[in-house]
């Protein structure tokens, strides 16, 4: 297998794992096993795997509403991810973070964020620390096209360019911010021009071409490591609604069919076969990944809920006394009132 085919094969596997994980996230919700209803699937956005594979092991990143795929591509354990989404004790944040607040410093994940654009400044802060400590590390801020209208992005890009920070801003443009199509939210879709106005290297690439995404990200991350921050927008299509409960009535069937036809997995699979890969081998890989995710799903479902007395752990400093639960205080107040 050529070097190009080895890379594409690895990227295809990363994307297949993202897709399969997100399908199990959806199943968690259907089985009433998720902790909450706001689950945002990244199906259709798997090309982001090309960016993650271009990062070094010591690089860090922040994610957004649809961060599951980014994290699993980084090397997260699917069982621990699904346990967290289910609010279980075996999860990455012991069940306290849920779908939109997963974090793991060991893998460089500085945290997902449910606030649109909320994690962007965190990546800039990490990049500033790397520069001051003279560490050859890069921080990547992942966010959706909805964040392109947030002021924190422009403040962050300005500082990154002004201070020559090792940071890359990645906009995953899936065409919709909740139910609003991107061209109804902004008059200028040339997001790269906005970045260049601040002095950043700005580019837009087809997010369904994972090889192109990887090639571009590798170059941009390399430049950022030398103090030349960048902005990369990858265009893709969100296959499903904003959240798991959203049936996307604001999109017609023809649009959805056309969007799903631009499937990054389908494109990568076709390209691999054209280069000599066997369909049966890819089918076997798909089945292997499906079995891995099935096992992760069942492990999450069987995982125990966190004990109630741990609710304040990881919230307050270890040397501080734990707060008294509200129920205990209310019972004490009611007891006093009836005396």
Question: In this predicted structure, what is the pLDDT of residue 1?
Answer: 65
Q: Look at the alpha carbons of 69, 73, 77, 79 in this order and tell me if their dihedral is positive or negative.
A: positive
Q: What is the pLDDT of residues 107-157, one digit of tens each?
A: 999 999 989 999 999 999 999 999 999 999 999 999 999 999 999 999 999
Q: What is the pTM of this model?
A: 0.91
Asked whether 173 and 234 are in contact (CB, 8 A), the reply is yes
Helix/strand/coil for 217: helix
What strands, in cross-sheet order, belong to the sheet with 230-235?
60-62, 139-144, 167-173, 230-235, 201-206
Q: Name the token pair of 196.
A: 């260049």
What is the DSSP-derived secondary structure letter of residue 276?
Answer: T
Q: 176: phi > 0 → left, psi -120 to 50 → alpha, else beta; which?
A: beta
What structural domains does the chain harbor? Answer: 3-309 (3.40.50.970)
Instruction: Tell me which residue of 174, 166, 310 sits closest to 233, measured CA to CA.
Output: 174
- pLDDT, tens only, 60-119: 999 998 999 999 999 999 999 999 999 999 999 999 988 889 999 999 999 999 899 999
Instruction: For residue 269, give both structure tokens.
Output: 């699979």
SS3 per-residue string spanning 112-151: CCCCCCCCHHHHHHHHHHHHHCCCCCCEEEEEEHHHHHCH
Tell me if 123 sits within 8 A of 139, measured CB to CB: yes
Q: What is the pLDDT of residues 192-229, one digit of tens each?
A: 999 999 999 999 999 999 999 999 999 999 999 999 99
């Amino acid at each position: 297998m050529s070097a190009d085919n080895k890379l594409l094969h690895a990227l295809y596997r990363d994307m297949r794992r993202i897709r399969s994980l997100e399908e199990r996230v959806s199943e968690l919700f259907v089985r009433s096993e998720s902790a909450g209803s706001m689950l945002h699937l990244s199906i259709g956005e798997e090309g982001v795997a090309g960016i993650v594979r271009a990062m070094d092991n010591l690089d860090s990143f922040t994610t957004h509403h649809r961060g599951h795929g980014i994290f699993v591509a980084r090397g997260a354990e699917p069982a621990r991810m699904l346990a967290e989404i289910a609010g279980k004790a075996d999860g990455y944040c012991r069940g306290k973070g849920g779908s939109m607040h997963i974090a793991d410093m060991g893998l460089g994940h500085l945290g997902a964020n449910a606030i649109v654009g909320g994690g962007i400044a965190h990546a800039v802060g990490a990049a500033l620390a790397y520069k001051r400590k003279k560490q050859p590390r890069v921080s990547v801020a992942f966010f959706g096209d909805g964040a392109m209208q947030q002021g924190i992005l422009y403040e962050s890009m300005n500082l990154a360019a002004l201070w020559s920070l090792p940071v890359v801003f990645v906009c995953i443009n899936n065409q919709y911010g909740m139910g609003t199509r991107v061209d109804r939210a902004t008059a200028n879709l040339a997001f790269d021009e906005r970045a260049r106005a601040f002095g950043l290297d700005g580019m837009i690439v087809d997010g369904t071409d994972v090889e192109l995404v990887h090639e571009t990200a590798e170059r941009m991350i390399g430049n950022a490591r030398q103090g030349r921050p960048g902005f990369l927008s990858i265009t893709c299509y969100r296959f499903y609604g904003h959240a798991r409960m959203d049936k996307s009535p604001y999109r017609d069937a023809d649009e959805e069919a056309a969007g799903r036809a631009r499937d990054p997995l389908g494109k990568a699979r076709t390209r691999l076969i054209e280069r000599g890969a066997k369909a049966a081998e890819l089918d076997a890989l798909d089945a292997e990944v499906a079995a891995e995710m099935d096992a992760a799903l069942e492990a999450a479902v069987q995982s125990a809920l966190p004990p109630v007395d741990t609710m304040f752990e990881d919230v307050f400093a270890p040397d501080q006394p734990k707060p008294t639960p509200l129920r205990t205080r209310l019972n004490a107040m009611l007891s006093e009132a009836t005396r």
